[in-house]
Amino acid sequence: MTSELQQQQPIVLAIAGFDPSAGAGIIADIRTIQQLRCAAVAAITSITYQNERTYAGAIHQTAESVRAQVSGIVAENRIVAVKIGMLPTAEVVREVAQLIREFNLPLSVVDPVMQSTSGGKLMDDDAFAVFVTELLPGVRVITPNIPEAEKLAGLNIRDEDSMRQAAARIRELGARAVLIKGGHVKQEAGARRQEPAEVNRKAIDLLDDDGEVTAFQGNWIDAPNTRGTGCMLSSAIACGLARGDELKRAVAAAKEFVTETIKNSKFRIHN
């Protein structure tokens, strides 16, 4: 039966991989959802073997396993938003897409994780093709970083103009909105200019929501490790949508949450 807490709070379903170091994946999703006063339920797509520095492999869940997890959750919970992370195989991508349609799951936020920070491959090549054709159409918002956006759009991203071009191309694939996280661009630009780490450096994230483009500019934070921030951001956006915020406001609040978490954490933030 649904708990009293879940009845009081909007329920967000996270579908993602399990990171035993707790730096990223489903644990980071649940932690974020609970911190933002939503109720978290979850389904695991893969059990990975990794820590902050090393990715050693994974055992991926079957389509049947993912279906059984999600079916049990939706049978007794009213899901208000869905955050989707690691989808390792074509069969898992296809099954998640089918579950979204079958159960009419709302307000999906997709973080298209393709590679771990330590270099591990998190999505098979044939899974990517299925992701583009079967899951991406109808997604409320997808939140790629620069390398992920480049692969989805099929072009190199070097500045804000090329971010806009990439976002438009990704929307043409079917996503209603695209949020490109521009941190990789600023790191490369800063390295070329050899600027001090925190002297007037800005990070730009670009949101294209059905053709309406908003650039979010913030101060660069020279954190030693940002592992896990992509999971946090997408989960926080899902929470904003679950509470009824329009997308632009949900993104702004999510960015503020992640920034403050990085600034105030006594520990290293994982991605």
Question: Do residues 105 and 86 touch, judged by C-beta distance below 8 A?
Answer: no
pTM for the predicted model, two decimal places: 0.88
Distance between CA atoms of residues 156 and 198, nearest Å: 26
Instruction: Convert the pLDDT of each residue in 160-204 to its tens digit.
Output: 999 999 999 999 999 999 999 987 564 444 433 334 444 456 789
CA 187 to chain centre: 20
Domains identified in the chain and CATH numbers: 4-270 (3.40.1190.20)
* pLDDT at 116 (0 to 100): 79
Instruction: Convert the pLDDT of each residue in 9-23 to its tens digit.
Output: 999 999 999 999 988
Structure confidence at residue 32 as a pLDDT band (50, 70, 90)? very high
* Mean pLDDT of the 40-51 span: 96
* pLDDT at 41 (0 to 100): 98
Name 254's Cβ contacts closer than 8 Å, sequence gap at least 6: 232, 233, 234, 236, 237, 239, 240
Q: How many residues does the chain have?
A: 271
* Mean pLDDT of the 42-49 span: 97
* pLDDT at 268 (0 to 100): 47
Instruction: Convert the pLDDT of each residue in 202-261 to its tens digit.
Output: 789 999 999 999 999 876 666 555 678 999 999 999 999 999 999 999 999 999 999 888
